[in-house]
Chain A
Amino acid sequence: MKGLFKSKPRTPADVVRQMRDLLIYVDLNWNSQEAKREEKMAELNKNIREMKSILYGNSEAEPLSEACAQLTQEFFKGNTLRLLIVCLPKLNLEARKDATQVVANLQRQQVHSRLIASDYLEANKDLLDLLVSGYENMDIALHYGAMLRECIRHQSIARYVLESENMRKFFNSIQLPNFDIASDASATFKELLTRHKSTVAEFLSKNYDWFFKEFNSKLLESPNYITRRQAVKLLGDTLLDRSNSAVMVRYVSSKDNLMILMNLLRETSKNIQIEAFHVFKLFVANQNKPQEIVSILVTNRNKLLRLLSDFKTDKEDEQFEADKAQVIKEIAAL
């Protein structure tokens, strides 16, 4: 008898549908009566949270794959992701965080062994432009940034962002004065340039000229310490990746690049010096050094040898010492 009056439990699809309706309401009636809006907002927050606990589980239960699949399917069937992203600035902090976690999780959900999030994003690439532009708005930057990083787990989506105009925006976002946002942007930038090897290699060879011009002048020669430090580390990681060897050879054959790296070697910051060394050694190790590189190295031979002989890492690092010995040998033999 008791069961008769209990409302039927909502299915995961119901939760998504209700959330979508509420989002539409909130989007259209933003200027409606305060009390009414508050009520709808509270309901919306509850729905988003419920989605989160279906996807992540809660203290009592682990997530069920069947429920996750249902939810994911319904979510991408409608235009829910777009609505959620567009309405995010209207949500309160807690709901924004929940929504971000929901979106992050959905990128990894498979339905019939397909990542349908990827298909959806491919058909709605403008959403990625919207997410990247989030770095211009302090209030939502960290939420959009976190969503964006999850979206570029899909190779095709990462390729889109790399090859779009958005890529140029990162050079500015990375240097925003607000540390939270700048470091989030640089985490995304790094992810774009390291995650999908073949795509990155293709991007770098196609866009070599403008990309490294920006990279050198805006990042490696930035007045901002942390920008330089992160950039030179990223440069090392990128060039040392085997899939980028063609780009590396091109980079280390340029006199201008060498000069920038040699300036970084002289920095007072130990961290920057060491990261710069890992790139500098590539110039020296190059077996087909152009004449202008050789002549710079020869001209500065004594100074370089002196610098290198005093050069030590804080912790003992055999690889570093071996590299250093090799570099010293090469320079001395020129």
Chain B
Amino acid sequence: MTEEGRKITYPLDSGSYRLLYEVGSGVSAVVYKATCLPLNSAVVAIKAIDLERSRANLDDVRREAKAMALLSHPNILQAHCSFTVNSHLWVVMPFMAAGSLHSIISSLFPDGLPEPSIAIVLKEILHALSYLHDQGHIHRDIKAGNILVDSDGTIKLADFGVSASIYESHPSSSSTSSSSSFFNDMAGTPYWMAPEVIHSHVGYGIKADIWSFGITALELAHGRPPLSHLPLSKSLMMRITSRLRLEDAHEQCAKENDKKKKKKKFSKAFKEMVASCLSQDPSKRPSADKLLRHPFFKNCKSPDYFVKNVLQAVPTVEERFKERRIAGGHPDEADSGGSASPPVKNRRVSGWNFNEDVFKLDPVYPEEIEDKCAIKCIQLSGDELSNGDQEGNEESKVEEEDLAKKAILKESLVPNLVSLLSSLELQRGMVMDVLAHCGCKDGQDEKVREQREQQLLGYVRSLQQTVDDLNLQLQREMKRNRELEEALDRLRRKSSEEQQRAISTS
């Protein structure tokens, strides 16, 4: 019980904490390692959520804070406290020194963890899930990136940004009485999502977490979730997941592994366990409690084993985060519902670097900048026509500086778009490849094959569409860029004339 934990009261003001350094960041949150001064400089992690950013819906933030405050389980990351600092919310949490499993895998085990270590992790997570589900909570975002590890091998499930309680009535549905056990909004991260979550009109329950748990098992085994090399489009995922069977996932992963090196062997118990989680029919997926009794977890080793075999080789969180920075990763571009741990966030959508580009195109931010640019352009040409009285002059100088900044931004945007385009093309090739492979499997009757061919055509068409759209966008961007450059030139000329005039008059 928490009476124990509550004895330590963490102070509710920013002055009591000293931020040491950043260990992770995302669009709307930064995670710091920090010390709490009044408590003998105890080490903590502080997640600073920027409430001003559009994604940080206050109701979601409140729900996350409440979930974290009311859950108490050794395998669930709990917040010590939370308070606001200007327009930021600081969530003070235990510091998990080894970071997320996603970051551990990507830095040291790109092809996945060995099976005994996987068993240890999954077992701990099942304990957490069993507790959550018993409480009527659905986590809705189970994945390696949300599994945090401490240096002593403690494993905790984190990130309740999207979790929901089936007991909590939602304001929107508050008129009806008992309809609150299903959710219809999209939440979670697509590659880990259960089919019924993607088909969100059906509604889903705690079994969606079991699906994501199964995908996470595959992620730990192979270093990334199945199908993660496919582009992230809801419609595409919808169709693919509707016929995703474990064999497909396995074969496919095995195939990829073949290319790199020898085929990985997993025990029958493991395969069986994962297969049961990935049943299309949610009611056929076992509960977390039932999974804990699965033979796969019978001879599960202790966390010590995990410390010796996995953690010892792993650099600390801060080292890893620094490395990323140096390697030119843009942690700032990462998506963040916010977990306590760092590099993870970049890859919220898995280890497919295409997605990082996508995030740069995240509609909210860049668009705003572009709009402003366009307006400035118009104002500018107006200014020029109306000729320079003193005031207009000063203004345009300020704007000139602004414009220069924007132009630089443009320059960085265009290459990104180009690379996005080529990466899309690459992906199309890969999808064709996979689909061709699927289509050629023997023992399938004509109908199925025909259907698949239809689907294949559909995919190709939708991809083609995306490529075309992006092409168009690129054209537009380049045009705008040209316009901006011209405007900038005009301004430069104007200001040098000004200067000359100034010199000559003086």
Contact = CB atoms under 8 A, between A and B. Distances in A.
Given A93-B1, A180-B66, A271-B52, A225 B84 contact: yes
A50 interface: no
Select the residue from B54, B58, B135, B372 with max chain A CB neighbours within 10 A.
Answer: B58
B51 A178 contact: no
B51 A179 contact: no
B170 interface: no
A36 to B, nearest CB: 18
Contacts of B83: 177-179
B151 interface: no
A125 interface: no
Contacts of B87: 225-226, 269
A177 B364 contact: no
Nearest to A105: B167
Given A179-B89, A314-B54, A139 B6 contact: yes
B58 A177 contact: no
Contacts of A94: 1, 72
Nearest to B175: A153
Contacts of B372: 312
A124 interface: no
A270 interface: yes
Contact of B66 (A56, A184, A230, A270): A184
A314 B363 CA distance: 9
Interface string A182-224: 0110010000000000000000000000000000000000001
Nearest to B54: A314
B431 to A, nearest CB: 31
A231 B2 CA distance: 33
Interface in B53-80: 54, 58, 61-62, 65-66, 69-70, 72
Contact of B167 (A92, A104, A139, A184): A104
Given A92-B1, A226-B84, A97 B135 contact: yes
Interface string A68-102: 00000000000000000000000011100100010
Interface in B426-482: none
B81 interface: yes
A101 B165 CA distance: 11
Given A180-B82, A225-B84, A312-B368, A97 B70 contact: yes
Given A108-B177, A177-B13, A270-B52, A312 B371 contact: yes
Contacts, number: 78
At the interface, is chain A mostly helix, strand, loop or mixed?
helix
Contact of A180 (B69, B135, B177): B69
Chain A interface bracket (under 10, 10 to 19, 20 to 34, 35 or more): 20 to 34
B480 to A, nearest CB: 18
B241 interface: no
A270 B450 CA distance: 53
B203 interface: no
A229 B58 contact: yes
Nearest to B364: A314
Interface of B: 1-3, 6, 12-13, 51-52, 54, 58, 61-62, 65-66, 69-70, 72, 81-84, 86-87, 89, 135-136, 167, 169, 174, 177-178, 287, 364, 368, 371-372
27 contacts: A56-B167, A93-B1, A94-B72, A105-B167, A108-B178, A142-B66, A142-B69, A150-B169, A153-B174, A178-B82, A180-B69, A183-B58, A183-B62, A183-B66, A184-B66, A225-B86, A225-B87, A226-B58, A226-B89, A229-B58, A269-B87, A271-B51, A312-B371, A312-B372, A314-B364, A314-B368, A315-B54
